[in-house]
Amino acid sequence: MTLSFKSVVLASVVALGAATTVTAEVTLKLAHAAPETDLQQDFSVFFQEQVAARTDGEVTVQIFPQGQLGNDAAMIDGTRSGIIDITMVGLNNFSGLMPESAAFTLPFMFPTRETAYSVLDGEVGQGVLAGFEAHGLKGLGFPENGYRNMTNNGGPIRTPADVAGLQMRVNNSKALNDMFAALGANPQQIPVAELYTALETGVVDSQDHPIGVTLSFKFYEVQKHLSMTQHAYSPLAVAMNLDTFNALTAEQQQVVLDVAAEAVDMQRELSIAKEEEMIAELESNGMEVNRDVDGAAFQAMVKPDWDNFIAENGDALVNAILETSN
């Protein structure tokens, strides 16, 4: 009788433990550097709401925008170590871990958004996401930052000669650093969180970012001219700590993957739909927008960037992108 009772109790404990394992709540920290008015926050909120809904609240997402958990490099390190669960940063920030991935950010690599989407969502882009796993990360997708455009205070930028002499803030993309140097600017790497102050105080007098970032960070308050140079497509990358992803149930993993893919599609569509509206808002805040840009002249000037990249990293990924684009 005693043995039977003990057996029942033990079975109940095991069953309870199994039930607890299956229904245990998981909270994921998602970090990005943009303000809450940016499209990155739209992605994050969609992801947060849909993950919670589709897991019946078993998996919830806490959003930390505007660099609350550090700059891009710190967020990547934090995600690799597990301090952060998911981060969304510019793909260029992963080039230290995966130098070949910088091919995606070469100037004038993608003539259209549709071309970029087909490459990023196809075999080539997914191969790069798979490469994240060697660095303790699970790649979840490539949301859109948009095409980079130049802003400055001196005047509209129409030809490469208009870039000469600018004190140009740049990100950590070697290709873009090389491009601006070749155009005669003085490129300076400054974290985006410090850029507004750098522009305001004259440390730099120009910068390049997609339209949404120029608006959400309010660079229109410290920059007069926006020139639609569209010199580089700027994808974001969403990455999750690999151990955290693997610790989820198979069903939860699938939800995370499905929702991330849907969030990418939603955010891209929103970026396209709102671009002209965002440009109009920049104009209403005093920016002068120049669309008269000699793109062919810029492309001719930056050809050595491609040669330098290929010399350092080989041509395999560049050729794969071009083949997919054609």
* CATH number assigned to the domain comprising residue 62: 3.40.190.170
Q: Is residue 249 part of a domain?
A: yes
DSSP string, 19-75: HHHHH--EEEEEEESS-TTSHHHHHHHHHHHHHHHHTTTSEEEEEE-TTTT--HHHH
Query: Which tokens in the block code for residue 272?
Result: 């396209």
User: Across-strand partners of 18?
Assistant: none
Confidence of residue 284 (pLDDT cuts 50, 70, 90): very high
Structural domains counted in the chain: 1
How many helices and strands in the chain, by DSSP H and E? Answer: 13, 10
Mean pLDDT of all residues in the chain?
92
Confidence of residue 293 (pLDDT cuts 50, 70, 90): very high
DSSP string, 262-323: HHHHHHHHHHHHHHHHHHHHHHHTTPEEE----HHHHHHHTHHHHHHHHHHH-SHHHHHHHH
Q: CA dihedral defined by 33, 131, 119, 182, rounded to 10 degrees?
A: 60
Q: Is residue 164 part of a domain?
A: yes
Residues 216-254: tens digit of each pLDDT: 999 999 999 999 999 999 999 999 999 999 999 999 999
Domain that holds residue 94: 22-325
Q: Is residue 14 part of a domain?
A: no
Q: Is residue 11 part of a domain?
A: no
Q: Is residue 13 part of a domain?
A: no
Query: Which tokens in the block code for residue 279?
Result: 């440009």
> What is the per-residue pLDDT for 19?
40
Q: Is residue 99 part of a domain?
A: yes
Distance CA 233, CA 74 (A): 24
Report the 10 Å Cβ neighbour count for 197.
11
Q: Is residue 6 part of a domain?
A: no
**pTM of the entire structure?**
0.89
